[in-house]
Every structure is written in C-alpha cells, then in structure tokens.
Amino acid sequence: MEMSEAYPMNGGDGIHSYAKNSTLQREIIDVAKEVAKEAIIEKLDVGVLNSPKTFRIADLGCSVGPNTFAAVENIIEAVKSKYQSQGLNSKIPEFQVFFNDHVSNDFNLLFASLPQDKQYYAAGSPGSFYGRVFPEASLHIVHSSTSLHWLSGVPKEIVDKDSPAWNKGKVHYASSGDQVIQAYKAQYESDMEKFLQARAHEIVYGGLMLLILPFHPSGIHPSQSATNLSLDLIGYSLMDLAKKGRVNEEKVDSFNIPLYLTTPQEFEAVVESNGGFSIERMEILTRSEFINGIDGHQIATHWRAGMEGLIKKHFGEDIIDELFDLYAKKADEILIPAIVKSAEQQVSLFAVLKRKAN
C-alpha cells in the first residue's frame, strides 16, 4: 500500500531522536499558531460546522510528537472559537484526530506520548500521503507542517549515468545543472498532484487544508538559499569522506536527498492545475530569534534527526558520526556566515486551501 519511499525521522527518544531534535520544526508551528487559528476562524465554512457529529482532523507527516500535539490542540481551539463566534456553543462536536505518517514511523512512541488531557479521540493512520489514507469526504481539517518538502522519491533520471540529469558528486539539486533542477521540479509537481488528488477525495466540501512548508523565494536561483546550501553541505561532507577513502565515490553519486523547496509561484501553479482547492490565504512566515547563537553542531544535529535513516540505508552505519562531525565544521565555516549575511528569516510558506464544492 505504500505509494512512495519512506524516510522516517529518527524514532525513540535518544540523543539523536527526532523527538528531542525537532525544536526548529516546533518553532515553525509556534510561529504558525496565530495565523492558523485566524485562518480557521475566518475561512472555515459555517456549513462544515453544522454537519458533523464528529469533527475529524488529520495531521499528515506527523512524525512522533510533541510538535504534532501542539498543532492539533491549536486547531481544535480555533474550531471551538469558530463555533462560539457563530453562537453554536451547544453544537460543538466531539473531535477525532488522525495522526498520519509512513508505516515505518514510530507510532508506538507517538501513542505513548499522547497528552493525558487531550480533548479528542486519537488514531494513527499509517501510509504515504501521496496516496489515499482516509475514506471519501471524511476529514474536516487537514494539517501538514514541514513534511510536504519530502518527495515520494528521488527522480529516476538523476541517478542514471546515461541521463543528462545525472547528478554526479552531488546529493541535491540546488548547485547542480538545470537538468537536475528540472528533474526535481517535475517530481515535485507530479507528487503534489497525487497529494492534492487524494486530499480532494478525503476532505469535505468547504473543509480546510493548512500547509506549512519550507520554501524558496520566487525569482531567485535555488543555489541562493541557505536551506539548500545546508543540504549541499551534506554532499560536500560525503565527498570529503570519499576523498579520504571512507566511502566509495560511486555511492555518493547514487545518493540523493528527496527534498524539494518549492517557490510560492510553483505551489500556486500546482494547486490551480489540480483544481480541487481554492487558495484562501498564502503568506510567508518569518522568524527572528532562533538564528541568534545557532552553531554548526546544532544544524548538524537537526539534519541528523531527519536524515540518519536515509543515509544509513545507503552508506551503512559506520560513517554517521564522522559525517555529521565534518558537517558541523563546514556549517560553522560556510553556512552560518551565509545565514547571517542573507539574514534569511523567511522560512516557511503558510497556505490555507479550501476544498471547492464541485
């Protein structure tokens, strides 16, 4: 049933776990909190409020918490405010929340850490969000934060030696040739179409989708983004290890990171081309504080929590510590100055889509 490759965040609660290394993602959810609340109160159809006995919410790409719990609580509070603002206090339904991620996600940890005082019935829904996960018209609000930049897989051409899009010596597209960039973009568009098609089935008419995703500003070359640079550094570090003979260079050639940073323009285009949703709101979330005092080690730890599994699978376990030590040094030398220089504070695209009535 998996429609795509799974790249689970690190499970458990050890020092390299996602649970303990997702404060950057949490900060994004905190920044999004007020906007999300406002969007629900403004944009959720009153018709949607009147219909359900159970109000159903899904968080797609939830990983293991605690971020997902904070996001979901915020949504429920907003929905309740909306009922109250319409004088529908007595009609506030029960809430059911579906936590979705790949089958290989650590659902045991997720369930064990569910808040004691949660005001909803919780369920875990395993499966790739690039395919159907829920029944027809069964969801009222869908949320997804910092997940949709994960592609369903790397584009085939870029690991094909005979293709002009072969991505030799690199692990991402931003500093590669146009053909590599185009291959990634095409993969993104095809994945997003599958995502939107599936959600168009699952979300009731008038229901909302709140999407928060890392992005790249329209009109600027991908290589000019600090996030992309931070991914390139993984490639540079791997190539250093190849030069030292610690990994096979061909292994680096065949390794690529299935992440894509969309531009707001590209995002708008895929939503319009799908046709199932109207874009009700789209804005850039900025953050001002977290970069103060951040160092290479912290950035290395951040990526490690998200990518260790992917890298292990391809290169084995032995190089992991060395790789992220190297990464931390490069991040201090190259990335931190670039971040400070670019003052890149525009970190996430926040979009509110509404399911159109046919």
The binding site for a second copy (CB under 8 A) comprises 1, 53-54, 93-96, 98, 103-104, 106-108, 111-112, 114, 116, 118, 121-127, 132-138
User: 28 vs 62, which CB is nearer to a second copy?
Assistant: 62
Residue closer to a second copy, measured from CB, 88 or 226: 88
Looking at this protein, which amino acid is placed at residue 348? S
Please report how close the Cβ of residue 87 comes to a second copy at its closest, in angstroms. Answer: 22
Closer Cβ to a second copy, 216 or 355, answer by number:
355
Q: Rounded to the nearest whole angstrom, what is the least distance from the CB of residue 275 to a second copy in the complex?
A: 22
Token pair 């510590």 in the structure block, residue: 321
Residues in the chain: 358
Greatest Cα pair distance, the chain, in angstroms, is 69
CB of 136 to a second copy, least distance (A): 6
Torsion of CA 275, 277, 278, 280, to 10 degrees: -160
Helix intervals (H) in the chain? 23-43, 46-50, 67-85, 107-112, 178-202, 226-243, 249-253, 264-274, 296-315, 320-330, 336-342
Tell me the closest approach of the beta carbon of residue 119 to a second copy, in angstroms. 11
Q: How far is the CB of 3 from a second copy (least distance, A)?
A: 12
Nearest distance in Å: CB 121, a second copy: 5
Which residue number, 117 or 162, has a Cβ lying nearer to a second copy?
A: 117
- What is the separation of C-alpha 154 from the centre of its chain, rounded to a whole number of angstroms? 16
CA neighbor of 165 nearest in space, from 141, 147, 183? 183
Of 194, 350, 215, 213, residue with least CA distance to 276: 194
Check residue 332 and report its DSSP letter: I
Paired residues of 55 in beta bridges: 95
Backbone angles phi, psi at 138, to 5 degrees: -110, -5
Is residue 159 helix, strand or coil?
A: helix
Closer to a second copy at the Cβ: 50 or 104? 104
CB of 230 to a second copy, least distance (A): 30
Nearer to a second copy, 100 or 237 (CB): 100
Closest distance of CB 19 from a second copy, Å: 15
- For a second copy, the closer CB: 112 or 186: 112
The CA distance from 165 to 177, in Å, is: 8
Residue 116 vs 292, nearer CB to a second copy: 116
Secondary structure class of 51 (helix, strand, coil): coil
Evaluate the CA torsion angle 150, 155, 161, 166 in order and state its sign.
Answer: negative
